[in-house]
Structure 1
């Protein structure tokens, strides 16, 4: 069985999960969906096509929604979703199902994997450092069952919840982060910045510019927090809310992997 997994990752959790699943499935190609967006068109022929992404505000990231909206799939392919999250995962996979339905496709199954949290602003959710290894082990242990379901082309309701309460929670959390706290406009680089350009080069929306006179953040932030967590000097902050807080990225994912996602 041939499989393609399109992925989007900010701190590496989703890429690590997609790699584990690809290894378990065999004959699987991983494609950064950000790079696929540059070329548009149709997905390559495959028996199964997966869309792997982190949960943002109990929902799909805007960049993933844009990708799904524009790409064409083979109607014969078994389409599945893989959502990584720090708990809870809300209705992200149901949003994927709805978008595919609108395009005339079917989401056959949607799976969630709990991974270490990376959300540090405006509310710090990264208080589970002691549980990281436990979460890595649990995620790894669950991969064979997910792979088995895909091989057997099982059809199932997406994991998560599509209740009105979760939908409201997602809208409220996004509103708090983007409007009330206005996270993107509070991004800035401190004096610890050495202009290495890591943030500029890994930003999936090309929203960051590094020059001799400083770092500029544009208005197309997807709130993946890659810039914050991958800065080698911890020089990027969200106002004063992230000062002194630990950073995180998946230990098996590198800056080189992040550059590959962007096509650098």
Structure 2
């Protein structure tokens, strides 16, 4: 069985899960969706195709929505979603299902896996540091079950909730973070910045520019928080609310992996 998993990751959680699933399935190719997002066209032939992403504001990140809107599927593969989340997937996988149906495709299944929190601003939800190892262990235990469903092409309802209340809650939280608090405009580098360019090299939307005069964020922030969590000097802040707060990225994912996702 040949499988392709397109993935998007900010702090590495989704990539780590996609790798575990790929290893369990065998004969699986991982492709950063960032590198295919604007080209459209057809996917390579495969028996199963997955779309893996972190849950942002109880739904899909905008960058994932753009990818799904542009991609075309070759043949009739078993298409599945793989969403990582700190606590709840909300309606993320149902939103993926809706978008697939708009394109006359079917989402065969949607799986949600809990991973360590990484939402650091404007609210800090990273209160699960003491449970990270438990989440890693639970993920590894769940992967064989998911792989078995994919091998057997078991069609199922997406995990999460399609409640209108949760959908509304996600829309409100995104509006608060993006428009009211305006998180993207509050990113800045402190005096601890040594111009290593790591943030620029890993930003999936190429929204960050580093010069001798400092670090500048543009207008295309997807709020993945890769820059703030991956900065080796912890020199990136979001306003004053992130000062002194812990950073996180998955221990098995590297800066090199993040650069590979971004591409050139």
User: How many Å separate the matches in 2 of 1:244 and 1:127?
Assistant: 14
Counterpart in 1 of 2:108? 108
Give the TM-score normalised by structure 1.
Answer: 0.99
Determine the C-alpha separation between the residues in 2 that align with 1:112 and 1:58.
12
Residue-pair matches, total: 264
Check if 1:46 corresponds to 2:33: no
Alignment of 1:39-78 (within 5 A): 39-78=39-78
- 1:39 shift after superposition: 3.4
Does structure 1 residue 210 correspond to structure 2 residue 210? yes
Determine if contact 2:202/2:258 at 8 Å carries over to the other structure: yes
**Is this contact kept in 1: 2:3–2:49, CA < 8 A?**
yes
Evaluate the alpha carbon distance shift between residue 38 and residue 165 of structure 1 in structure 2; reply closer, same or farther with a 3 A threshold: closer
Structure 1 residue runs without a partner (length 5+):
none
CA offsets, 1:115-139, max 9 Å, x none?
Answer: 0000010110001100000000001
The residue aligned with 1:184 is: 184
Q: Which residue of 2 aligns with 1:17?
A: 17
Q: Partner of 2:261 in structure 1?
A: 261
What are the Cα deviations for residues 205-230 of structure 1, in whole angstroms up to 9, with x where unaligned?
Answer: 00000000011000000000000000
Q: Provide the secondary structure at the position in 1 that maps to 2:36.
A: helix
* Structure 2 unaligned spans of 5+: none
Structure 1 residue ranges, 4+ long, deviating more than 4 angstroms after superposition: none
2:87 is aligned to 87
Does the 8 Å contact 1:75/1:105 carry over to 2?
Answer: no
SS of match in other structure, 1:193: coil
* Conservation of the 8 A alpha-carbon contact between 2:13 and 2:115: yes
Q: CA deviation at 1:75?
A: 4.1
Match of 1:99 in 2: 99
CA RMSD of aligned residues (A): 0.7
User: TM-score scaled to structure 2, two decimals?
Assistant: 0.99
- Counterparts of 2:213 and 2:185 in 1: how far apart (Å)? 18
